[in-house]
Amino acid sequence: MGAATDAVEVLEERIRRRSRGFFVSVGALTAVAAGLMIWVSTEAPKTASWVPYYVVTVVPGSFILLVWVMRRGEARTIGFVRRLRLRLRDVGVHRGTRLVLVFDNGLVCTLGGSMMWMWLFSTPAGTPASPARVRDAMQMRRGFWRMRAIGIVQPKRGPEDARRELTAIRERVGAKRAMAALYERPTTAPASPVAPAWASAALFAGTPSNVDPSRWAAELDAVRAFLERLRTEHYPPGLHGSHR
């Protein structure tokens, strides 16, 4: 819990620092553009008489709107993470844009815009893994790219029980769309001491920004159980491909 709290605080500061740098850069570019437009209006007053009005009204108004939108998104992200911190082991940003959350039940969540991926990775031996840090989770995810899909669950595809279970979760969290898949590392892939033998994932898209994060907190164990059942019940070893 202490490590997760520290990670959340580091994440908050990183998001705020990145936002400040972005605002300074945009502000400087805006000032340069405004100065250039004013210069053009003085050099060609008849053809650019509208420029002073544009510089006085539209330019600062657009900058203020951008700041408001960015601040709102920043506050939403920080608030989301704070509400889930009791279930977090670690949190961070991957490649500067994608938020990564590692939960205490082994789930790994990656967030980008309105898209939320929930991952359950296995160990190389095939048992469900439980990463402790973002770097561990991302190392497992890199091994995912050598995998192939052996089962997909969509509204009209996959085992009926799996479709029904995924739909129920989607409705409870308020997502507009959801799909899930089970992936397996081919036996022909190079041996690796860290790559997972399989991974299951659920994508929730179009989640409203005003959804209470506590709804997600209440579903973490249900999502984890569903992703494990993809491997053990819906697409068990030996029956892969029968419901694809």
Domain boundaries, the chain: 2-81, 95-234
Residue 112 has pLDDT above 60, yes or no: yes
Of the listed ranges 149-158, 202-211, 227-236, the one predicted with least confidence: 202-211
The pLDDT of residue 180 is above 80: yes
Give the pair of three-digit tokens for residue 200: 């299951």
Does pLDDT of 223 surpass 80?
Answer: yes
> Given this model, what pLDDT does residue 120 score?
97
Contact yes or no for 118/128 (Cβ under 8 A): no
Most confidently predicted of 6-20, 26-40, 61-75, 205-219: 205-219
Q: pLDDT band at residue 241, thresholds of 50, 70 and 90?
A: very low
For the chain, give the mean pLDDT: 78
Tokens of 128: 């469900």
Torsion of CA 27, 29, 31, 35, to 10 degrees: -170
Q: How much is the average pLDDT of 157-166?
A: 95
Q: What are phi and psi of 165, to 5 degrees?
A: -65, -45
Q: Which range among 51-60, 125-134, 177-186, 216-225 shows the weakest confidence by mean pLDDT?
A: 51-60
- Mean pLDDT for 179-196 is 81
Write the pLDDT tens digit of every residue in 124-146: 888 999 999 988 998 888 777 77
**Picking from 88-102, 156-170, 192-206, which range would have the lowest pLDDT averaged per residue?**
88-102
Please enumerate in sequence order all residues whose Cβ is within 8 A of that of 133, keeping only pairs 6 or more positions apart, or say none: 89, 90, 102
Q: Residue 153 and residue 179: Cα distance in Å, rounded?
A: 6
Count how many Cα atoms sit within 13 Å of the Cα of residue 50 in the half-sphere of its side chain: 4
